[in-house]
């Protein structure tokens, strides 16, 4: 079932309650932490019989994974195992590659993002993505970068300043940049740029955040800061993280999925995967006997 890129203007209901998620309550700028915002029921992502192709190459084979709400799930596996492809299928970025297609279902709560007639851009607004290499928009200031998500989607939001403020606080960047919000986004260090990209993602208020090796281009201290941030963010979002750094998966994820050659080999609590995995291949991969 090929789903062509539709430009349907109708927004499919995301849950049985229908409509867009409710407005976040306004916060005084001084109250920084994301956990202070009223608790919201998290959203689950469920992949069922997902298959993805690059032309004739069958990259992902019958993958079914449940990503529990408000938890961090890590995808690990050797290069070419398909973990990045899985994540890109969730927000349908996979089909932006010429010749790429996917079949199966990806459900965000009750909504199957691959159902016919679903507006791809609307889906992507519900799902944020952070990439391996920090990619702030070079022509925009720090403020504009954080606001970019809203401006690019044409969302009218009267209190942009407050939203940018809160997003920067949520990623722990506010104190470092509050005096230079108008300076170029690319003037920051690598670790700060990545946090800026996370702030940009958080500003569109998604339900799920996908991270494709978010710290692999960063130095160790920035990596640890990002990991701490992920730990805080899971209070509000469901997070899926792809990482080739097993120690990172071990530190950050509640549950871990091990993939090999496009298939899911094992999916279990992180603790179990790293102390007593069930599958021989998982054991051999995490102990470094191949990969």
Partner 1 sequence: MHETRHQFHESLRALEAQALDGLDLVIQQLDRSLESLSYQDVELAGMVVADDDRIDGRYLEVHQGILSLLARQAPVAGDLRIVAALLHVIRCVERMGDQCVNIAKLVPLSGYETPKDKDILDAIERMGRLARSQVSQAKQAFAGRNVELAQDLVRQDTEINRLNREIFRRAVEIGDNLDLREWAMFMILVARCLERVGDNTVDIAEQTVFVVTGLFREFADASNPPETAPTP
Partner 2 sequence: MSSITASSLPQISARRRVTDKVMRGSLLGGTILALIPLVLILFYLVKRGLSGWSQSGFFTSDPTGSFFGNPGGIRSAIVGSIEMVLLASVIAIPVGIGVALYLTEYGKQSWFANTVRYFVDVMTGVPSIMFGLFIYIVLVTGHVGGGFTAWKGSIALSLLMIPIVVRSAEVVLLLVPSSLREAALALGAPRWRVIGKVVLPTAAPGLVTGSLLAVARGMGETAPLLFTVTAAFGLTLNLGTLMNSLPVQIYTDIQSPRAEIVNRAWGAGLTLVLIVLLLNIIARFIASRSRRA
Q: How far is the CB of 289 from partner 1 (least distance, A)?
A: 6
| CA 59 from centroid of its chain's CA atoms | 20
DSSP SS3 for 106: strand
Interaction between residue 137 and partner 2 (CB under 8 A): yes
200, 225, 236, 267: which one binds partner 2 (CB under 8 A): 200
Interaction between residue 184 and partner 2 (CB under 8 A): yes
Q: How far is the CB of 247 from partner 1 (least distance, A)?
A: 6
Binding mask 90-129 for partner 2 (x = CB under 8 A): -x-x--x-x----------------------xxxxxx-xx
* Whole-number Å distance between alpha carbons of 180 and 142: 8
Q: How far is the CB of 273 from partner 2 (least distance, A)?
A: 28
Interaction between residue 148 and partner 2 (CB under 8 A): yes
Pairing of strands 263-269, 255-260: antiparallel
Candidates 47-55, 92-100, 111-119, 272-280; binding stretch for partner 1 (CB under 8 A): 272-280
* Whole-number Å distance between alpha carbons of 36 and 177: 22
Interaction between residue 290 and partner 1 (CB under 8 A): yes
Interaction between residue 154 and partner 2 (CB under 8 A): yes
Q: Is the distance from CB of 270 to CB of 255 less than 8 angstroms?
A: yes
Q: How far is the CB of 151 from partner 2 (least distance, A)?
A: 7
Q: How far is the CB of 133 from partner 2 (least distance, A)?
A: 6
Interaction between residue 89 and partner 2 (CB under 8 A): no
* Whole-number Å distance between alpha carbons of 183 and 247: 35
Strand partners, 257: 75, 267
Taking the least distance from each CB to partner 1, the nearer of 197 and 265 is 265
246 binds, among partner 1, partner 2, none (CB under 5 to 8 A by kind): partner 1
Interaction between residue 274 and partner 1 (CB under 8 A): yes
* Beta carbons within 8 Å of 107's beta carbon, 6+ residues apart: 44, 45, 46, 47, 48, 113
DSSP SS3 for 141: strand
Interaction between residue 77 and partner 1 (CB under 8 A): no
CA dihedral 207, 211, 214, 220 (to 10 degrees): 80
Q: Is the distance from CB of 167 to CB of 148 less than 8 angstroms?
A: no
* Beta carbons within 8 Å of 130's beta carbon, 6+ residues apart: 194, 197, 198, 201, 209, 210, 211, 212, 214
Interaction between residue 151 and partner 2 (CB under 8 A): yes
How many chain residues are in contact with partner 2, going by CB under 8 A?
30
Q: Which residues bind partner 1 (CB under 8 A)?
A: 246-247, 250, 273-277, 282-284, 286-291
Q: Which residues bind partner 2 (CB under 8 A)?
A: 7, 91, 93, 96, 98, 121-126, 128-129, 131, 133, 135, 137-139, 148-149, 151-154, 184, 197, 200-201, 204
């Amino acid at each position: 079932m090929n789903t062509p890129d539709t430009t349907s203007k109708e927004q499919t209901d995301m849950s049985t309650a229908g409509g867009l998620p409710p407005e976040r309550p306004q916060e005084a700028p001084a109250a920084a932490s994301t956990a202070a915002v009223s608790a919201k029921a998290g959203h689950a992502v469920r992949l069922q019989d997902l298959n993805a192709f690059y032309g004739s190459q069958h990259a992902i084979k019958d993958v079914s994974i449940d990503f529990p709400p408000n938890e961090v799930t890590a995808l690990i596996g050797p290069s070419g195992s398909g973990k990045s492809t899985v994540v890109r299928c969730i927000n349908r970025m996979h089909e932006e590659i010429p010749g790429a297609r996917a079949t199966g279902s990806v459900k965000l709560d009750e909504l199957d993002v691959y159902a016919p007639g679903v507006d791809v851009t609307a889906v992507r607004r519900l799902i944020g993505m952070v990439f391996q290499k920090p990619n702030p928009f070079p022509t925009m200031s720090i403020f504009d970068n954080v606001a970019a998500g809203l401006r690019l989607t044409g969302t009218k939001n009267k209190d942009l300043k407050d939203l940018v403020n809160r997003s920067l606080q949520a990623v722990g960047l506010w104190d470092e940049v509050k005096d230079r919000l108008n300076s170029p986004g690319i003037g920051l260090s690598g670790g700060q740029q990545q946090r800026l990209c996370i702030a940009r993602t958080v500003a569109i208020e998604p339900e799920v955040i996908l991270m494709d090796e978010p710290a692999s281009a960063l130095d160790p201290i920035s990596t640890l800061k990002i990991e701490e941030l992920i730990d805080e963010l899971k209070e509000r979002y469901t997070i899926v993280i792809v990482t080739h750094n097993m120690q990172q998966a071990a530190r950050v994820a509640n549950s871990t999925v091990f993939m090999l050659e496009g298939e899911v080999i094992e999916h279990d609590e992180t603790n179990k995967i790293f102390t007593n995995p069930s599958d021989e291949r998982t054991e051999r991969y995490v102990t470094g006997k191949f990969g």
